Amino acid sequence: MRNFLENLKFFLEKIDHLRDQVLFVFIKKFWSKKILPDHLSWARVFIGIIILVFLFFGIENKLLIISLFIIGAFSDLLDGSVARFFKNETKFGAFLDPMADRVLLIPIAFYSLFLNYKILLFTLIIAEVANLLASAYLHSKDILVKSNIFGKTKMVLQSIVFAVILIMWPNPLSNLFIYILWTSAIFTILSILFKVSEIQNLTPLNKPIDKKLIKEKLTKHLHAKNKNT
C-alpha cells in the first residue's frame, strides 16, 4: 500500500510540475510582480464570501455565481505557481491558500449537498476540520507546511464537481460526481497523513541559526575524527 501511495504521489507531482511549467510561460510574459500570491488568495476569500451571501439570501443569479466561482478556482490554480516562479513562498501564504479554498468551496458544498447527501457533506467537513487543525498545530510550532500534492488534487476534484453542480443546478447530480467527491475526501485524509509523516523533515521558520553551536559541533567532530586517526 505504501509503495502504491508513493507511486501515486510521484505521478501526481509530475502532472503538477508540468502544470507549473505551462503557467510559468504565461506568468513570465504577462504577470505583474505587483500582484502577489496572497492577493490572489484574498481575492478567493472575497469571492467565497460574496457567493455565501448570494446563496444565503437566495440571490439566484446563476451566471454571476458560476462566473465568480470559476474566477476563484482559477486564482487557486495560479497563486502557488506565481509564488514558486517569483520565489515568494511564505508561511502566511501557505496558511492562507487552503483557508481561501475552504471559504470558496464550503458554502457551495452546504448549498448543494445538505438536503440529499448529508453523510457526504459532513464527511467532507470533518476531513477539512482535521486538515485545518493539523496545519494550525504545525504553524503554531513555526513550521512551514506547504500544500502537498494530495491536498492539491482534492481541490481540483472538488472545484470540478462544484462547478458542474452550479451549472446543472437544480437538476439532479450524476452519481459519478458524488463518487468523485468521496474520492476527494480520501485525498484529504491522505494529505493529512503525509503532512504528519513529514513533520520531522520540516524546518522551523524565522529562527536564527546558532552559528556558535554549529561551530562547536563541527570542532568536536573534527577533534574526534583526528583522535581516531
Read off the CATH number of the domain in which 32 is found.
1.20.120.1760
Q: Residue for cell digits 517569483?
A: 86
Going by pLDDT thresholds of 50, 70 and 90, the confidence category of residue 204 is: very low
Percent of the chain at pLDDT > 70 equals 83
Q: How many domains does the chain have?
A: 1
Q: Is 88 in a helix, a strand, or coil? A: coil
| CA gap 97, 76 in Å, rounded | 8
Residues 124, 125, 129: CA angle, nearest 5 degrees: 120
Q: Which domain range does residue 154 map to?
A: 2-228
| CA gap 38, 82 in Å, rounded | 10
| CA gap 162, 62 in Å, rounded | 13
Q: What is the pLDDT of residues 111-145, one digit of tens each?
A: 889 888 999 999 999 998 988 887 777 777 766 66
Going by pLDDT thresholds of 50, 70 and 90, the confidence category of residue 209 is: very low
Which residues are bridge partners to 204 per DSSP?
143
| Confidence check: pLDDT of 199 > 90 | no
User: Pick the residue with more confidence: 217 or 54?
Assistant: 54
Full-model pTM:
0.78
| Confidence check: pLDDT of 8 > 70 | yes
| pLDDT value, residue 173 | 80
Q: Residue for cell digits 487543525?
A: 133
* DSSP structural state of residue 35: S
In this prediction, residues 36-40 reach a mean pLDDT of 91
Going by pLDDT thresholds of 50, 70 and 90, the confidence category of residue 68 is: very high
| pLDDT value, residue 123 | 94
| pLDDT value, residue 208 | 41
Which residues are bridge partners to 41 per DSSP?
none
Residues with Cβ < 8 Å from 178, sequence gap 6 or more? 117, 120
